[in-house]
Amino acid sequence: MARVIRRRYLGGAAAALGGVLAAACGEVEIRYVQGPAGPAGPAGAQGERGATGAAGAQGQAGAAGQTIVVEKEKPVVVEKEVVKEVVVERPVVVEKVVTVEKTASTGPKNITFDTDWGPSGPRAEVIKRAMELYNEMHPEVNVDVRIDAGREQAKSGSVFARTAVLIAADDMGDLFLWAGYVFVYWAKRGLFADLTPFMKQWGRTIDDYIGVPQHEIWPYPNGKVWGLPFQGGTGDWLYNKSVLDRHGIEPNENWTHDDLIETAKQVQDPENGLWGFTTPGWGTALTTMYNIGGEKGADNGEKYLFDTPVGHQAIQFWEDIIHKHRVAPRPQDTRTEDGKSKGWSPWKGNYVFWTGYPSAAAQRIMNESNFESQIMWAPKWPGNGLRAVSSFDQAHMVTKFAGSRGVLAETAELAHHLSGPEVAQIVVEHGNTSPIWRAVFDSDAALDSARWNRHIIMDGFNYRFGNQAQEFWYPMYRAWNPIFAKVWSGEVSGLAAAAEANRLADVIVSLKTLHPTADVLQAKL
């Protein structure tokens, strides 16, 4: 049975985050003295946090034969109280004796947290439960959770538009759920706080997370950590198991893209809403570029090289999927005559092959639709045997405003909580995305290995790429979407689209703004 003695100090930034920050202020020092470690507690989210950092003692409660003493020197003690509580943990009951020493306080700290995970649905449920847990651990901090702050003023839900109006109004949150597609732009302009010192204090590294391909997004630049991943996404290949089982077909590790095409032709039934592939996006073509030529063929640091031999080949592949092989619908095929969406979804069984992640919400939809899917090996590109799959994450950024408002430490601790294993477990149970904490992601709690080929997803990190690390990704996205939609609908050729995408990228990079006017983004096709 573990016995944990913990002294908790309330009343300031140093109290919330402990010795690393406090020592920097020249006031206090916190030392962690750890006894001999006992056997590890049960695997999963509860056993991931170390003995250092603000939540360290709780994270080790499942270990046996271990004593952790947290000492604070030179405290101004106002009152002391000893609280005895019994906490039920699996598989043992752990008795904790908690010594609380309270220092003089200037009152509660107030944090503004901007997010778009709400106001209802699976994501809202995640935030609700995560904040309930945080409030229990930090009653001395008030958090104002704002859903889509700045949307009304900006007349837009995009992060870049909301950010612009919130900065202008001096009303940007201390913690902001960011988007990768404008991260590099704002990181270069000093909007975010460097979390590297806090990471060292917590005993975390960026490798504790999934979804940071080649560490190209959040640890930018120079190895510093500017945000803590929260929402993850892996674009791995899946197949409609219900359909292929009926045909006696099972994909194997050696399948190429040609095998997918031939299988799709054999089993699809477009007249009844079953297509071989989903309609691609330009990001789909980009991943195929990695398939064909590797990373060097796709990215020059400013834009994506669609107007190259590798780019032409990737666009042509998907153009042929739609118009030559006819195993994916044109955009107009997915809508009714009056322009409404037909509501097709891979999770409802409308496609044979697609890329995504079977989140808890997706699995609920599959159950309601009475069909099964399965994770498959990414197909090899014919001729070179390369695989490529995608990944992204969405981080919580501590903004520079947290420092000017005197809540940097508390805000960093909130980001630490939201990115940790406990909240990852909440995402698994209630969310519609993948957990970002690696040990939870790669666990039966997230995807039961008796049901899912989870090992294929983990293998994908050997050839996984991200596509949002460009400084001006967002305006390129706005400009390129209509161009590629015209290719998929049959209005223009892939070669013409590649040349126009290149021209617009050059214009956008030269303007050096996230929001060029609509006429600048207008394609000349």
Rounded Cα–Cα distance for residues 30 and 28 (Å): 7
Of the candidates 304, 284, 298, the one whose C-alpha atom is nearest the C-alpha of residue 502 is: 304
| Residue 59, token pair as written in the block | 């994270």
Burial grade of 128 (CB within 10 A; 0-12, 13-18, 19 or more):
middle
Helix/strand/coil for 34: strand
| Residue 17, token pair as written in the block | 């985050």
Of the candidates 126, 178, 153, the one whose C-alpha atom is nearest the C-alpha of residue 429 is: 126
Across 40-64, b (16+ Cβ under 10 Å) vs e yields ebeebbbbbbebbbbbbbbbbbbbe
Dump pLDDT digits (tens) for 13-38.
Answer: 333 333 333 333 333 332 323 333 33
| Residue 254 pLDDT | 97
| CATH class name, domain 234-390+466-521 | alpha beta
Q: Report helix angle 473-489 to 494-511, nearest 10.
A: 160
Angstrom distances, CA of residue 374 to CA of 151, 248, 350, 370? 38, 15, 14, 14
Dump pLDDT digits (tens) for 98-109.
Answer: 443 434 446 789
Helix, strand, coil percent values for the chain (each to nearest 5): 40, 20, 40
| Residue 43 pLDDT | 33
Using DSSP bridges, classify how beta strands 77-88 and 93-103 pair: parallel, antiparallel or unpaired.
antiparallel
| E strand segments, 247-401 | 275-277, 351-356, 373-375, 389-398
pLDDT < 50 stretches in the chain:
1-105, 214-219
Of the candidates 367, 366, 368, the one whose C-alpha atom is nearest the C-alpha of residue 351 is: 366
> What type of residue is 18?
G
Across 368-398, b (16+ Cβ under 10 Å) vs e yields eeebbbbbbbbbbbeeeeebbbbbbbbbbbb
Rounded Cα–Cα distance for residues 191 and 409 (Å): 16
Domain with CATH 3.40.190.10 in the chain: 109-228+392-459, 234-390+466-521
Using DSSP bridges, classify how beta strands 464-465 and 389-398 pair: parallel, antiparallel or unpaired.
parallel
420: Cβ contacts below 8 Å, ≥ 6 apart: 48, 49, 55, 437
> How many CB atoms lie under 10 A from the CB of residue 245?
12
| Residue 7 pLDDT | 31
Helix/strand/coil for 281: coil
CATH superfamily of 109-228+392-459: Periplasmic binding protein-like II (3.40.190.10)
Rounded Cα–Cα distance for residues 100 and 87 (Å): 17
| Residue 212 pLDDT | 61
| Residue 446, token pair as written in the block | 């997230």
| Residue 296 pLDDT | 67
Q: Which residues pair with 115 in a beta bridge?
A: 147
> What type of residue is 506?
D
| Residue 221 pLDDT | 57
Dump pLDDT digits (tens) for 466-479.
Answer: 777 788 888 999 99
